[in-house]
Structure 1
């Protein structure tokens, strides 16, 4: 317990705050609306499990440390959407928690339905330009899908547009986790632009 208290004290003020003890139906928009009274909110990230369901906590990144400090002071242990919220300075800024990678021509798609078919993939990528290749990860022992895929695009700009479009799609009602990836059959972005 003493070690936990020491670690907690070592967290230095930064632009990002941790927000915990949230009901699972609280959205990023709900959090942003409340946090905007403390300063300019740059982004809100609610942590979700592999099914896309909230884990009851997230991160809010403000434009200044002062705004984050006001949020910690004004919100910690205050009732928010029916629960007492835990609001503290985060260990890292929000981009570290989101796992945001630098743009590339390859996208990682997580939370892909295990029973996805070629027809489903066609519908998923309908209207998305410059897709060169889509690979569903398959377990070599069982021959079953692993629940993720990679999609290669012709160029980085096409991948950026594809990322935004794919984040809005819900194959079989599942919310995809989409990010840039650097595992590509086309080589690294530096090799081919």
Structure 2
């Protein structure tokens, strides 16, 4: 029996979600849905071994507060009832194709504890960096857990990607991918 859990705080992981619901019974699968950059979309799925346990979890946890957000806990409705794989498809974590190399790197899974100094340390041994921008939430003014870095050329970005992929900051492995570079985005948009 699969439950849909919505309105989750973006820092919630599959592990923390599973731990939060473990008191209701055996959970066979837990997943947070992420965007192509690996960032949480704010909802996920839990699969309970027993439908009765799932029912109890819905009764007690729907509209309850977890990590400061009021969760929505509902039975997952598979859109296509004919497909036997519909239930398992929500747990399909087949990785998406990575972006083609570009001069801009996306760096995700950054800890919210990260300071400017931590960021500078991270890039201290990386050459040919033009600019590093940490994404900030406009409403809260808080960092959103990812950054973009622009490099002189694609080769510099490739070298940096190899280095950054091996880094962990505050115990978190960085997610590094190529991003559409700014110049290309501006070219695609209206010319000033």
TM-score normalised according to structure 1 size? 0.46
TM-score, scaled to structure 2: 0.47
